Amino acid sequence: MKILLWHVHGSWTNAFVRGGHEYLLPGPPEGIGLSGRDWPNAREVDLSEVDADVAVIQRPEEIGHVPGGIPVVYLEHNTPRHPNQPHPLKDWDGTIVHVTHFNDLMWDCGSARTTVIEHGVVDPGHLYSGDLARAAVVVNEPVRRGRVVGTDLLPRFAEVAPLDVYGMKTEELGEVGRGDHDLDSLHRELARRRVYLHPVRWTSLGLSLIESMHLGMPVVALACTEVVRAVPPEAGVVSTDVDDLVRGLAGLVADPALAREKGKQAREFALANYGLDAFLRAWDRLLTGVCG
């Protein structure tokens, strides 16, 4: 198939374009194209010259830019602000794909058909060493997003373990901010930290969490949104009680053997539930059906 999609979510697209199809990404001014990514099955296109079998759109405004006659699937990455929020495509006659069951539950999509295709990631390998007795956090714009991503909780965790916070505009946090990294260097940095900390209150399931589990990292996470499904008890500590999480973080940082064992369990679970092959097969089934 020839699949038209905009480059919106880089980490998700990195997995999606690993399938056996041709992926057409609009370049400027309609989109950002490849943006320097080395995706061999993907190429930048002029939207006016696109001949595609199906389009996967991720923003409501993209509907009007899909050339006529191309069937469309809408991919929703985000969690709604509240459970009564109507989806921008509520009652649409197409299919809305959610990346988590939580999102599917919470969005009001009306009569629109919905389905869930959970995340899959390109396996970075079991890189975990955990040689640094520190916790890693990955979040973009933590100052602007504040409580939503748990920025206010970071000082409590920092009392029991040094923190390294990665992502866009993390420099605004001061000495704990480590800035944005390309995916390969981020994985290397994360894998040296003893624990992956996920203090997020309300957002869709972050791919960095799934990637950290693939690396073999143990996880300490707030039991919010999809986390209770994505992180099993044997992979770390999951709770809505921050005191529980603080104790769990302290215990894992202090016990490298325990952290390594829970990280091993995290990797096994991630490979079984968020592997690339199952993700691509699910998308193949859906898009083949949409194309008729």
Q: Where are the domains of the chain?
A: 2-120+276-291, 132-274
pTM of the complete model: 0.94
Q: Residue 48's pLDDT band (boundaries 50, 70, 90)?
A: confident
What is the CATH number that goes with domain 132-274? 3.40.50.2000
Q: How many CB atoms are located within 10 Å of the residue 126 CB?
A: 13
CA distance 65 to 57: 10
Q: Reduced to 3 DSSP states, what percent helix, strand and coil does the chain have, rounded to the nearest 5?
A: 40, 20, 40
The SS3 assignment for 132 reads strand
- Alpha-carbon distance of 205 to 102, in angstroms, equals 9
Residue 134, number of CB atoms within 10 A of its CB:
17
pLDDT at 292: 78
| Encoded tokens for 173 | 């946090």
Answer whether CATH 3.40.50.2000 is correct for domain 2-120+276-291: yes
- Tell me: pLDDT of 73 over 90: yes
Predicted confidence at residue 40, as pLDDT, reads 86
Q: Which DSSP category does 67 fall into? A: P
- For residue 102, what are the CA distances in angstroms to 60, 116, 138? 21, 10, 21
Across 122-146, average pLDDT: 97
Q: What is the pLDDT of residues 145-195, one digit of tens each?
A: 999 999 999 999 999 999 999 999 999 999 999 999 999 999 999 999 999
Residue 202 to residue 11: CA distance in whole angstroms:
19
% of residues, the chain, pLDDT over 90: 96
Domains 2-120+276-291 and 132-274 share a fold: yes
Average pLDDT (209-231) is 97
**Cα 103 to the chain's mean position, in Å?**
13
